[in-house]
Amino acid sequence: MAYTVARPKLTFAEKIYLPAIVAGLAITWKHLINTLTGRKKVTMQYPEEKWDANLPEHYRGAPTLVKDEHGRERCVACQLCEFICPPRAIRIKPGELPRESKWAKVEKYPEEFDIDMIRCIYCGLCEEVCPEQAIFLRKDYAITGLSREEMVHNKAKLYELGGVRTGLVHKWNEKK
């Protein structure tokens, strides 16, 4: 069954879009005057001025690996981040710990851990799925490189960028 929608009658000024044009010009003039008088700044001069202090708490930047306060790797190479990554930007090659190691119960560690920053869509799924809180999104929006190879961050670069996070790491827990 069809419904008929009653349309309002437009005045002549509304038919020629005169009020909309005048309102748009008023906004443009207001911005122009505020910019010329220095009351309002519209453009950020990027290399000198940055958003670092004004980034929101929920900002999702580039993923990186972190170590615990003792300098040990938090990652157990469970590969959950690799499996959940929509663009397949993460690649992990797990390696086994030697049997004589104190932490042999952990079974594996990341031999290689690469994140292709060109493919990464900064969705944050890798951070959410990590059981050991080994991967975090840093508050960085200026990720650059001169070649594709520079944009693939290996394990060493990820740890360099990530730094140290404190807190319980399940794989180093003696009670487990």
Answer yes or no: are the C-beta atoms of 109 and 73 closer than 8 Å: yes
pLDDT digits (tens, 9 = 90+) for 7-54: 999 888 888 888 889 999 999 999 999 989 988 876 778 888 887 777
pLDDT on residue 76? 87
What's the mean pLDDT in 97-116? 83
* Mean predicted confidence (pLDDT) in 82-98: 93
In CATH, what class is 54-172? alpha beta
Name which residue leads in pLDDT, 62 or 174.
62
Query: What is the token pair recorded at 155?
Result: 């394990």
Q: For residue 74, count other CB atoms closer than 10 A to its CB.
A: 24
Q: What is the pLDDT of residue 168?
A: 62
With contact defined as beta carbons under 8 Å apart, do 75 and 96 qualify? no
Q: Torsion angle, CA of 96/120/83/152, rounded to 10 degrees?
A: -30
b/e code 110-133 from CB counts within 10 Å (16+ = b): beebbbbbeebebbebbbeebebb
The chain-wide mean pLDDT, for the chain, equals: 86
Helices (H), the chain: 12-15, 18-37, 80-84, 125-129, 155-162
SS3 content of the chain, % helix, strand, coil (to 5): 30, 15, 55
